[in-house]
Amino acid sequence: MLLVVDAGNTQTHIGAFRGAELVEHWRFATVRESTADELGAALRSLLSLRGLAFSDIDASIVSSTVPQLRPEWTAMASRYLGHEMPAVGPSVRTGMPLRFDSPREIGPDRLVNAVAAYEHVQGACVVVDFGTAVTFDCVSDDGEYLGGIIFPGLEISLEALSERAAALPRIDLGEPRSLIGKTTVDAVRSGVVYGFAAMVDGIIARLRGELGDDLTAIATGGLAGTVVPYCDSIDEVDDQLTLDGLRLIWERQP
């Protein structure tokens, strides 16, 4: 079985594949100070919940947007899984040409998403990832990574609003009751959800004007379900996109 790890700034998403089939997956909060032993203990507990063990894992790969966690994950694999865990980066083959001025600056999760999206669409596409930031990653019709757009995420925006505006409370994200809020909480929630939806639709409209109307927009990320129902421009939602991309990149290694 193949273990894939997407260690993001806020959440870590782990999947176990048997061939192309995702057998199981888990999410937990990312702790940036985690050691290899702590990651190993967490992984063992998650596997045991489904009757699996370290011995069931034949290979693994990690993508981490938290630099200090990359060596911890690779050390965990060496110690507990008994094999080398490649980390997505400049030395890992993705099979995707990069039309980007500074390829080393591309977030590994963004590149993984682009690989998975193009494999699925086989044409021009954009991935909108709703995580700590909202990122847009564009792929040409020929399968080239073109670059992207980065926007502050929903939770970051809410935190900044409550910190800078003393009279505004910190709220939980959720479905707006109406466009026009009848309470302060409703007004903030409406502004965040409808505002981000309008931002996504506006950017995708501009991207289609530049890259063509047949550009496929795929949404992913932990907060996609909050915003996408209010968007008009998203074609698909794929919560497992990053996991699939990690599997594809692992299959492309020599």
Q: How far is CA 118 from CA 15, 114, 137, 214, 235, in A?
A: 20, 6, 11, 13, 14
pLDDT at 167: 66
The residue to which tokens 């009751």 are assigned: 177
What is the Cα–Cα distance from 239 to 22, expressed in whole angstroms? 12
C-alpha 182: how far from chain center: 34
Q: What is the DSSP letter of 170?
A: P
User: Is residue 127 a part of any domain in this protein?
Assistant: yes
User: Is residue 97 a part of any domain in this protein?
Assistant: no
Q: State the alpha helices, DSSP H only, in the chain.
A: 36-49, 70-76, 108-121, 154-164, 184-211, 224-227, 241-251
Nearest CA to 114 out of 136, 86, 85, 84 is that of 136
Record the pTM: 0.90
- Find the helix or strand (DSSP H, E) in which 59 lies: strand 59-64
In a shared domain, residues 194 and 151: yes
In a shared domain, residues 78 and 162: no
Give tens-digit pLDDT for 82-96: 999 999 998 899 999
In a shared domain, residues 130 and 48: no
What is the Cα–Cα distance from 123 to 217, expressed in whole angstroms? 11
Give tens-digit pLDDT for 17-42: 999 999 999 999 999 999 999 999 99
Which of 112-116, 176-180, 183-187, 196-200 bottoms out in mean pLDDT, i.e. has the lowest? Answer: 183-187
Sequence-distant (≥ 6) Cβ neighbours of residue 58 within 8 angstroms: 1, 2, 83
In a shared domain, residues 120 and 213: yes
In a shared domain, residues 10 and 49: yes
The residue to which tokens 């865990």 are assigned: 85
- End-to-end alpha-carbon separation of the chain, Å? 18
User: Is residue 14 a part of any domain in this protein?
Assistant: yes
What is the Cα–Cα distance from 209 to 189, expressed in whole angstroms? 30
Which of 111-115, 177-181, 195-199 bottoms out in mean pLDDT, i.e. has the lowest? Answer: 177-181
In a shared domain, residues 132 and 209: yes
Tell whether the model's pLDDT for residue 171 goes beyond 90: no
The residue to which tokens 């977030």 are assigned: 107
Q: Could you confirm whether 186 is annotated as catalytic?
A: no
**The domain containing residue 237 runs over which residues?**
103-246
In the set 6, 109, 129, 238, the catalytic residue is 109
Nearest CA to 29 out of 17, 42, 45 is that of 42
In a shared domain, residues 123 and 236: yes
What is the Cα–Cα distance from 122 to 140, expressed in whole angstroms? 10
